[in-house]
Amino acid sequence: MMEENSFKETEFGNGFDFKTWKKIFSLNKKLFPWLGVLAAFMIAVAVVDGIFPLMTRYAIDSLVPVLSAGNSMDPVWSFVRKYAVLAVTQGLNVFLFILIAGMIEVRVCHRLRYLAFRQLQKLSFSYYDKTPAGWIMSRMTSDAQKLGDTIAWGIVDLVWGGTMMIVIIIFMTAMHPPLAAMTLFFTPILLVATFWFQKKLLAAQRKARKANSLLSGVFNEGLQGARTSKVLNAEDFHKAEFAKQSSTLRRYALRSARISALFMPIVVFLAATGAAVALGAGGTMVLGKTLSFGTLVAFVNYAMMFFDPAREFARVLSEFQAAQASAERLLSLIGTEPEILDRADARDDVDILGSVELKDVSFHYGDGKWIFEHFSLSIPAGQTVAIVGETGCGKSTLVNILCRFYEPISGEVNIDGREYRERTCHWLHSRLGYVLQTPLLFSGTIRENIRYGRLDATDAEIEKAASEANAAHFIEGLEHGYETMVGEGGVLLSTGQKQLISLARALVADPRIMILDEATSSVDTETEVLVQNAVDRLLAGRTSVVIAHRLSTIRNADRIIVMDAGRVIEDGTHDELMSRAGRYRDLYNRQFLDSEAILEAAREEPAPSESAVPSAAS
């Protein structure tokens, strides 16, 4: 298998890319009306926010003289009513925009995860060879989450910040254009400074996060491998690695703290300068009676308020830029084409008898290292073939090609005399059973796990398959029987129990061709016999290819193929090959008799953890 660290992630650019965002938005077309509603609410929130200083202006200029003159309270009550209406409207706006933005966040995240997961189901095996599981998990979890968050709350802040700045400029200009020009004189500097700081801050934070995750990796390895590193005297190496990552983290964390510390005073200073100008110039006008006192207060308010939307606007733009890497990585996953695709004229509606033939097949995994060159093998329908050979000789690769997880680079794979690419992948996979060496169960009940073999199987069929697979006895002995939860990956069951369930799953599917990658893990003798009987039943009457480790399977096979470096070097029955004194006899004596000896030892002293087949795992 390919090492995970050989995976090279595509480097994505840093600049803002409209195309990427257009694609992300087009994947969420159904949310467009909601995005429009959200934007409308944010415009409303910004307008109402901008009206409050005008209310203060009105109170100072119109109400204070009325109150000072001791006239009626009526205008005050009318003002209070208007103020209350405005406050309630704003409360409602805020309630609704939080609700809608939250809904959009969840739906964007769900949609992107759904699209990525759907694509993952379609992708060929080769994709999983090249792509580490951790990388895929990050795309599905943190990237999808980040995009949901950035799109929903980014629109909130972007529309609010943009509208708020426009509203402030309009209101100021409408009240007093020359004073507006003076107050807003520093605004461009404020905007530039805000953008610059936000960009630097985000970059430092991103580097700090990266250093933090590397440091967690070092922790993890250090803790998990504590025993190994002691044995290997590798403590100093781990200490040095920890010191390196830790000082990188400290450097970036300090940088981000420095930027934050500088940012606030500088930007607040600039905003305050605007307010000071308004106060100085406006104050003079108030003295000269060319400006009302209320208008001056409104100007000072607006000048101080301008800083907030400017900061939000800059922050969101930088966040969109930061989230762009998430968008590009997710799009690269969603847009990956499966390497194995059905041909346009591939048929699905043909019966299968089960004869299999590899004809002149050559294959490599994309690295140019040929695993098979001009390889041929023919298996008549109904025959059981055991494949044996040293590790790395190509047994699993042969099975991978047979199952069409990979296609040959050249040559043909014929099933019932027809090239398998003339059929759909579904045609083959629905008629082919594959029992893995390490049986994988899904979290759920035992019944559900057996039903994975054929989704429309009835309960009676499931129970019949379990009984044929020798699993019924132990299942019925469990407190919840077929409804027993198996835990994630089947952790609540023993190895032997999992093997029996996976055999039942294959039996319920009733495939014409059966591929069996036999388990090497030893189970106790009693289970070994149960598993072997179930395997015999599973293989009977089907074309079967078994990567064989059990002596009993090898002996019972119709034919044994010995492979070496991608070639068939011996082919015959057990007795024929034993009489030839060739590689098979060698292997048999060395490998299979050894495993027989291990089994023999296990018979005398059964391992407690593996002797649990008939026992409960509720």
- Site residues, ligand ATP (CB under 6 A): 1-2, 129, 365, 367, 371, 389, 391-397
Quick one: 463 or 517, whose CB is closer to ligand ATP?
A: 517
Instruction: Return the ∠ at Cα 332 (arms to 326 and 334), rounded to 5°.
Output: 100
What is the spatial distance between Cα 338 and Cα 341, in angstroms, rounded to a whole number? Answer: 6
What is the spatial distance between Cα 54 and Cα 248, in angstroms, rounded to a whole number? Answer: 50
Min dist CB 129 to ligand ATP, Å, is 4
Min dist CB 554 to ligand ATP, Å, is 14
**Crossing angle for the helix pair 495-509 and 459-468, to the nearest 10 degrees:** 120
Min dist CB 391 to ligand ATP, Å, is 3
Quick one: 461 or 571, whose CB is closer to ligand ATP?
A: 571
Quick one: 68 or 391, whose CB is closer to ligand ATP?
A: 391
* 256-265 exposure pattern, b = at least 16 Cβ within 10 A, e = fewer: beebeeebee
Quick one: 161 or 389, whose CB is closer to ligand ATP?
A: 389
Min dist CB 561 to ligand ATP, Å, is 12
Min dist CB 356 to ligand ATP, Å, is 17
DSSP 445: B
Min dist CB 394 to ligand ATP, Å, is 4
CB of 516 within 8 A of CB of 539? yes
Quick one: 257 or 436, whose CB is closer to ligand ATP?
A: 436
Quick one: 244 or 364, whose CB is closer to ligand ATP?
A: 364
- The residues with which 434 forms a beta bridge, in sequence order, are 515
Quick one: 217 or 392, whose CB is closer to ligand ATP?
A: 392
Min dist CB 333 to ligand ATP, Å, is 19
**Strands ordered across the beta sheet of 410-415:** 370-379, 356-364, 410-415, 418-419
What is the spatial distance between Cα 210 and Cα 252, in angstroms, rounded to a whole number? Answer: 10
Lookup: tokens for 292: 């009302």
Min dist CB 547 to ligand ATP, Å, is 7
SS3 458: coil
Lookup: tokens for 199: 């960009």
Residue 523: which residues within 8 A CB-CB, separation 6 or more? 494, 495, 496, 499, 531, 610, 613
Quick one: 390 or 600, whose CB is closer to ligand ATP?
A: 390
Quick one: 186 or 365, whose CB is closer to ligand ATP?
A: 365
Quick one: 302 or 365, whose CB is closer to ligand ATP?
A: 365
Instruction: Calculate the alpha carbon distances from 34 to 29, 152, 335, 502, 607 in Å.
Output: 10, 10, 26, 47, 61
Lookup: tokens for 586: 């060698």
374 sits in which H/E element: strand 370-379
The strand ranges marked E within 481-566 are 513-517, 543-547, 559-564
Residue 503: which residues within 8 A CB-CB, separation 6 or more? 435, 469, 470, 471, 531, 534, 535, 538
Min dist CB 395 to ligand ATP, Å, is 4
Lookup: tokens for 305: 């308020």
CB of 409 within 8 A of CB of 601? no
Quick one: 376 or 430, whose CB is closer to ligand ATP?
A: 376
Min dist CB 387 to ligand ATP, Å, is 8
- Of 413, 183, 436, 409, the C-alpha closest to 300 is 183
Q: What are phi and psi of 514, to 5 degrees?
A: -120, 130
Min dist CB 566 to ligand ATP, Å, is 8
